[in-house]
Structure formats: structure tokens, C-alpha cells
A and B are shown apart, each in its own frame.
Chain A
Amino acid sequence: MLHPYPHETDETGPAVQLRSVTCGYDGRPVLFDIDLTVMAGDFVGLVGPSGSGKTTLLRTILGAVDVYGGQVIVNGREIKRGAAHAGYVPQLETIDWNFPVTVEHVVRMGRASHGWTPWISRRMRDEAYAVMERLGIANLAQRHVRALSGGQQQRAFLGRALFSSPRLLLLDEPTAGVDIKTRDDVLHLLDELNHEGVTVVMTTHEINAVAAHLPWVVCVNGRIIAEGPPSDVYTPDILKRTYGAEMTVIQHEGMTLVAETPHSIGRASARHKAKAG
């Protein structure tokens, strides 16, 4: 476990506040009556089944969905439909991998709205390389993004977000489709950034990884089912209300682990019943 409790940060006050927010797309609400506060310096994981509204919740913070009721406040400023400025790492499956861009191009996009020349200043270029160095991708700067492994691609897009020097970092499924080692590396990196004062909110399907690395979990399924430290939130009842499935929660050496409850179906189940009979 990296970070059992939210650390102290110089910044005070909430980074994100959602007050009774109902929001969605094209007149159809996806999330209902959301009350959520993320304090500056928090490291929060949003978990829930597919279609539960995790990505919509991130996009609400970014001001990219229609809000039908309530208030969205980011860094003390109310966000209307439009863009909030935050470091954002989208799901990699949304990327056009045939687009002719190198890793350096992608990272530089983090400051695309700074200045009016096609090139960036030497100072900014050095900063971009410093970000890439930190993420271990500086030696890949001139590679096409398609020619990278999943973990390296994730780092390139994280680099773009970091190059914009955000105080709030939002990541959509940063651990999807990568191996355990890469997932661990990504989560360690996010933890480091969090310790430097960056507020991190991420969505994920990896509930055990969240329990191992993140101090605060929000269970989402159309509304907020529960929030708190994983050890408090990961209970069979809350997980059933979130995922609609029976799950077993195990405490092992101070870690909270979630396992699916095995069940017998079909012929195996019939044999079991026959034996029991």
C-alpha cells in the first residue's frame, strides 16, 4: 500500500465540488443528484460497472456534459457548459493511432494554447523534455505514438497533461489494457505526483489496484453509492449495490481484496443438486 491516507497539502479547500448535480447528454440524464467534494491534494478513484457514469462524472468536472441541475465548482469557479482547464488523460481507445504525431508532438500539445508561433520557446522545449525524462519516455521523443507499448503510450498522454502544469489531474481508465507491472508503475507515478500536491481523480475497473494504491474511493452507478477509504467502502453490500453482483471481501495483511463469488450454473449446478438430494 502506497498511500493509506490523504496527505497534508499546502493548498486548502476543495478542488472540486459537485452540489446536487444531475447531468448527461442530449437531454438524457446519466448521473443523478451527485454530491461530491474532492479536496486539494486528494487522490480519488472512481469505480463502478461499465456504463455507470464514471467517465461522465470526470467530464462533468471538465464542463463537457450538459448539467440539468445543481452546481459544478472547480478550483473555486463555477463551471458552465464549456471547458474547465485541467490536466486530462482520455481513454487511449479514443486516440487515432494513425495520426502522424511523435511522442514529443503529443507532449507539446499540453501547451498548444500558449503563444502564436508554430514552434515553442527553448525554455518550454526544455520543460517538455524534463516531463518526458521524468516519465521515462525522453528517448522515445521522436517515435511515432503508434510504435510504443501500451504503458509508454499512457505515459505520453500523461506527459501531455503534465506539461500543462495542472493542479488538478483527471484520468480516464489510465490502467486499462496494460500489464500488472505497467499498471503498478503508472499508479506509483500518480502517487508521486499526488505527493507533490497535484489533486488526482481517476476512473478504473481495477478495484483491487485501487484498494492497494488509493486512499479514497467513490463507488458510482448512476449516483454515488458510497465514498471513503477502500477498507470502509469495499463491503459486500456496497459492492453489490454498485456492481449488482455478489462479491467476497477479504482482509489480508492489512489489504482489502475483492473476489467474485463463485457460483455453479448449468450441468454443474444440476449435478450438485442431484448429489445433495
Chain B
Amino acid sequence: MFEPFQYDFFIRGLIAATVASGLCGFIGVYVVLRKMSYIGHGLSHAVFGGAVVSFVMDFNFYIGSTVWGFGSALLIILMTRVRKFIAADAAIGIITTSSFALGVALISHYHKFTRNFDAALFGNILGVDSTDLAAIIAVTAVTLGLVVLLYRRLLFTTFDPEVAPFFGVDTNWMDAIFALILASAIVVSLRVLGATLIAATLVIPPITARLLTDHFGRMMGLSVLIGALSGFFGIYISYYVDIASGASIVLLSAGLFTAALVYSSLRQRLTSMRRIAPTPSAAQTQHALFD
């Protein structure tokens, strides 16, 4: 049971996956409630374009990709806010696929790449080094700090972005900060989860949490917990079952989602049955009427 803990790479991977999945679950609450679930999928691809551009320009991967992802997220949010007839999914489709296409075009143009872009697409937990781990922890700490500071403003902006400015909330700033933390989270999680699977970790934990509670704060706590548990046990299972770590994490969260869906459906059915069931006094009245 403790065998994998003798390997440093496993411990690093385990911490990285747990923290990154928890972070994605945390930010994912805002993503899902803004009805931008597809943004995780899109931005992870956009960031892939940014990663290639950073490599071609010989620029730091983390800074280049974050700036690229931040710009893409900001463009998506601006496009949907300013041109209301462009829905969020359409804006995400336009901007992120264009960015991904640019990355692919650059790869095909510059044939020599020493970096493993398969890892960026599908995740490689074995390749997580101490720099990656430090980046994940730093982004998580900054995100946590910003969300704590801006909690009530972000909540209002997410709930009612049209009305929040009339109550003194600067929604433009909130959107910009949200875009920055989202892009940063995706960039640092890329190595662990991969561009193709990152969207699931942004969407499945918050949706699962939403099935279990009607309370925003509890939803956030549950989403982090579900994300972190999926990350921890996903890596653990992948070691023994020998499957890709990203896939293992996502499959585990999908399993938790299914369990929550079954639980909430049963709870809903029980509640409605209790409402329909006649009260003793009503039943007695019926007897009195028909006897």
C-alpha cells in the first residue's frame, strides 16, 4: 500500500495532482456558474498555442503561456459582454481554436522540437519536477488569496454581472482577475492533467458539488474536496492499474459525479413522495368520508 511512496517522482506527482485538481475544482465553481464550462477545454488548447509560441521565441514557458491564456480568456469574456449576441461557447470556439491552430501551424513550420508536446496534450505525471510543483503551489496560494479578498465581489459578478456595477462592484476588474487566475491554473495544471483532460477537472467537481448543495460556500468547499480526492486517488490508482494519470483522475471524478447524480435523484424522489403522501389527519378524513 505504501510502496509507491518510496519514489520521489511519485510523491511529487501525488502532491501536484492533488493540489492542481483541488485548484481546478476551486476555480471551476466560477467557471460552471458563469455557464462557461467549455472555457476550460478551449483555454487549455489556447495555452498549448501559447506554449509553442513561447518555445519558438525562446521565452519562459510559464510566463509566456499564462500571458497567452490570460489574453485569450479576456478576449472571450470581452466578446460575450460587449457583443451580447455572441454566446460564450461561440466566443470560446473562435478564440481558442484559432490559438490552438497557431500552435499547430508553428509546430509544422519549425520541425525541430526538443520539448515533448504529447505531455502537454495528455499530461505526464512522471515528468513533474520541483519547478512545476513550486509553480502549482504558488498559483494555488495566490488564487486562494485573491478569491478570499474578492469573494463577495466575485460572487456578485458571477451571479448578476449586469447589476453588480450599480452596487459599486467593478465587474471589469473582476473579469480580468478571473481570467488571470483561470489562465494561470490551466498553465500550471497542464503538465499533470494535459490539455485534453484539464476541462474535466474544471467542470466535473463543481457540477458534482452543485448536485449536493444549494449553498455557494458549501459548493466551493465540496468542489475542492472532490477535485483533490480525485487527484490523490487518481494518481494512486494509476500507479497500480497502469493507466495514464490524467485519465485516471478524470474517470474517478466522473464516478463521483455518477454517485452524486444517483444520490440527488433518489433524494429528490423521496422528498416528492413525502410531499404527495397524505398526512394522518387527511387519511383519517378520507376514511370518515367513505366509511
Among the listed stretches B105-113, B144-152, B194-202, which one makes contact with chain A, having 4 or more residues with CB under 8 Å of it? B144-152
Interface residues, chain A, CB within 8 Å of chain B?
62, 64, 82-86, 88, 90, 94-96, 99-102, 105, 108-113, 115-118, 120, 144, 160, 164
In contact, A84 and B152 (Cβ under 8 angstroms): no
In contact, A100 and B216 (Cβ under 8 angstroms): yes
> What residues on A are CB-neighbors of B165 within 8 Å?
64, 82-83
A61 shortest CB reach to chain B, Å: 10
In contact, B215 and A100 (Cβ under 8 angstroms): yes
In contact, A86 and B159 (Cβ under 8 angstroms): no
> What residues on B are CB-neighbors of A108 within 8 Å?
152
In contact, B152 and A90 (Cβ under 8 angstroms): no
Interface SS, B side: helix
Segment 113-161 of B: residues with Cβ below 8 Å from A: 148-153, 155-156, 158-160
Please pick, from A86, A96, A100, A160, the residue contacting B214 in the complex, using a CB distance under 8 A: A100
Which residue of the partner chain B has the closest CB to A144? Answer: B214
> What residues on B are CB-neighbors of A90 within 8 Å?
160, 162-163
Which residue of the partner chain A has the closest CB to B151? Answer: A118
B88 shortest CB reach to chain A, Å: 13
In contact, B162 and A112 (Cβ under 8 angstroms): no
In contact, B215 and A112 (Cβ under 8 angstroms): no
Interface residues, chain B, CB within 8 Å of chain A?
33, 148-153, 155-156, 158-160, 162-169, 210, 213-216, 219
The number of residue pairs between A and B whose CB atoms lie closer than 8 Å in the complex comes to 78
In contact, B155 and A85 (Cβ under 8 angstroms): no
In contact, B156 and A112 (Cβ under 8 angstroms): yes
A88–B156 Cα distance when bound, in Å, is 14
> What residues on B are CB-neighbors of A109 within 8 Å?
152, 155-156, 159-160, 164, 167
A94–B153 Cα distance when bound, in Å, is 19
A87–B216 Cα distance when bound, in Å, is 24
> What residues on A are CB-neighbors of B158 within 8 Å?
99
In contact, A110 and B159 (Cβ under 8 angstroms): no
In contact, B152 and A118 (Cβ under 8 angstroms): yes
Closest 8 CB pairs of A and B: A113-B168, A118-B151, A83-B165, A144-B214, A112-B156, A112-B152, A88-B166, A109-B156
Known contacts being A112-B167, A112-B168, is A101 close to B162, with CB within 8 Å?
A: no
Which residue of the partner chain B has the closest CB to A120? Answer: B152
| Seed contacts A90-B163, A144-B214; 18 additional CB < 8 Å A-B pairs | A64-B166, A85-B168, A94-B162, A96-B160, A99-B158, A108-B152, A109-B152, A109-B159, A110-B167, A112-B152, A112-B155, A112-B164, A115-B152, A116-B149, A117-B151, A118-B148, A118-B152, A164-B168
A117–B145 Cα distance when bound, in Å, is 10
20 example contacts (A-B, Cβ-Cβ < 8 A) are as follows A64-B166, A83-B165, A84-B166, A88-B163, A88-B166, A88-B167, A95-B160, A96-B160, A100-B219, A101-B155, A105-B155, A109-B152, A109-B160, A109-B164, A109-B167, A111-B167, A112-B153, A112-B155, A113-B168, A118-B151
